[in-house]
Amino acid sequence: MNLYKYVSEKLNAALGFEAKLETPRNREFGDFATNAAMVMAKTAGKNPRELAMEILPKIQGLDFVASASIAGPGFINITLKDEFLWSAGKTAVEITPAEQSMIIDMDYGAYNVAKSLHIGHLRTSIVGDTLYRLGRALGHKMISYNHMGDWGRSMGMVIAWIEKIHPDWPFFQPDFDPVADYSKYAMPIEELDTYYPSAAALAKTDPEFLERAQVITADLQRGHAGYNALYNVFLPISLDSMAKTIKKLNILPFDNDLGERNAAKYIEPVEKILRDKNLLEKSEGAEVVVVKRQDDNKPMPPVMFYNSRGAVPYDATDIMALYYRKITDNPDLVIYLTDSRQSLHFEQLFRVVELMNMFNPNALEHIGYGTINGTDGKPFKTRDGNAAGLNDMIALVQNAVRERVAESDKKLDDETIDNIALAALKFNDLMHDLRADYVFEPSQITSFEGRTGPYILYTAVRLNSVLKRAGEFTAPENPKLGSDERNLLMELLDFDRTVSAAFENRATDMIANYAYDLCQLTNTFYHNCPILHESVDADTRNMRLTLVRMTVAVLSRTLDLMGLNIPSEM
């Protein structure tokens, strides 16, 4: 239940106008406050205190209000009935569906074939997955796309490299047999992963090699049998490795792995629309769409549709991908999640499809996230100075957890260590404002105290163990609540609101920080309010156990929205 919304709506109905409800930091004077009297005083031609006195009885008359009083120049503080809060607690974990359910295409992950996943794919994967889960929980039809880089220049580079090291392979021979079985040419992923970096390095110094890679790219796209057969040898190796990382990250499988290659199939209909609308212009052998507007006050280069070799570049595949989504999903909204350096690309893209009358610009959204830095404030690199691979990052965090566990006298199995490490990595990613940079420091994010994933998991494990030790109990009907218990209950009743606010603002940090606040209040409660101790009477014990059960429900759901697993012990 969304307590804030419930109280707000009842209050407005009673007053007959929109009152703004505030949540005071300090609950000493009330659970909510409103400045309605101050805002309405002018129109009513009264002074605020006078008006407050007039509307006070209406607020006091609401069946869930315990007391309401006037403070200062005309604020009204409202305290809710414990009885009401307690019964609302039973539905705290329920998520109210969004008023309008939408079809939302989410484009995140966007991995590249034959290039191992690296640090740049971390935020798109983790944040994308959580946004997807949030949207789904709110009743939207979410459709995820791992828009794979599986058809562009890097494919040509990889094939050119293989040609260079294995010129005798059949794929490169004029008498190539397209129906034979080539599976024995499969290479281990570790080897495949080295091809692109080697090729890219060579292309920088060797223009002939670069030229060769470009010719191969265009030929591959045109259906060259040998290159396509070779492509089909390394594609599954790459996909298999991605699937393993996705599993390791505990993100939901993508609904679609359709990327650039699929998009390229729609070149004809898209080109037709562009030509019919006179949007394609020739430019130095290439064909482009001009997207510059008169009122632009920054550079807005044209979008390349065909390059001078007739191949379709990255820009163009995104137009076709949107065309594909339009004719299949017909989404109300498309959300892209990439590094903020791609902002211009998406601005250009959105202009093209607006010119094509395909999508309204407010149905398209690009979220550009910040950089993951090391403690030196520069983009995080491994010791050898390279951009970190995603698997390396996971291993770094796992090792940091292992060290911590070894220092303490805990004995935890590998699965538990992996779950703690994943929580450390993901929670740290989610708790930061997604548009800002943040620092990645394995030893800090694995601490069992403070704003960290392990702290959240530890709290959940502790609550589960209380319930386990308690055995069966009955929830009391209308118990007396102390202030720590009441504070915790109020926070539980803010879960529903947080879920919708986090999604609406595309702010995954709201859900992560909610988990932290909830754990803080839980631990204060746990510290101040004994539960299973023999000195505690049965009514109090059952009330506190019920509160623990409600908290476990909400906290588990929150962790699930972040794709985290609660270990059985820690």
Binding site for ligand ARG (CB under 6 A): 107, 110, 112, 147, 149, 318, 321, 336, 338
Residue type (1 letter), 474: T
Q: How far is the CB of 363 from ligand ARG (least distance, A)?
A: 15
Closest contact distance (angstroms) between CB of 315 and ligand ARG is 9
Q: How far apart are CA 443 and CA 537, in angstroms?
A: 43
Judged by beta carbon, residue 149 or residue 567, the one nearer ligand ARG is 149
Edge to edge, the sheet with strand 21-22 lists: 21-22, 32-34, 75-80, 65-71
| Beta-sheet pairing, 333-339 with 303-306 | unpaired
H/E segment holding residue 334: strand 333-339
Nearer to ligand ARG, 337 or 481 (CB): 337
Nearest Cα residue to 106 out of 79, 83, 77, 129: 129
* Element containing residue 373 per DSSP (H, E): strand 372-373
CB nearer to ligand ARG: pick between 2 and 338: 338
Using the minimum distance from each CB to ligand ARG, give the nearer residue, 318 or 484.
318
Asked if 234 and 196 touch (Cβ cutoff 8 Å), the reply is: no
Nearest-approach distance from CB 557 to ligand ARG, in angstroms:
30
Q: Report the nearest approach of ligand ARG to the CB of residue 36 (Å).
A: 46
Taking the complex as a whole, the smallest distance from the CB of residue 328 to ligand ARG amounts, in Å, to: 15
C-beta of 110: minimal distance to ligand ARG in Å?
3
User: What is the rounded CA–CA span in Å between residue 526 and residue 200?
Assistant: 57
CA angle, residues 431, 432, 435, in degrees to nearest 5:
140
**Rounded to the nearest whole angstrom, what is the least distance from the CB of residue 84 to ligand ARG in the complex?**
47
Residue 315 vs 418, nearer CB to ligand ARG: 315
Query: For ligand ARG, which is the closer residue by CB, 74 or 313?
Result: 313
Question: Which residue's C-beta sits nearest to ligand ARG?
Answer: 110
Q: Are strands 21-22 and 32-34 parallel, antiparallel or unpaired?
A: antiparallel
Show the tokens assigned to 395.
């291993």
How far apart are CB 392 and ligand ARG at their closest, in Å?
17
* Residue 40: alpha-carbon gap to chain centroid: 40
* Angle ∠(559,564,569) on CA atoms, nearest 5: 95
Q: How crowded is residue 113: how many other Cβ atoms within 10 Å of its Cβ?
A: 25
Looking at beta carbons only, is 118 or 309 nearer to ligand ARG? 118
Looking at the DSSP bridge assignments, the partners of residue 365 are 335
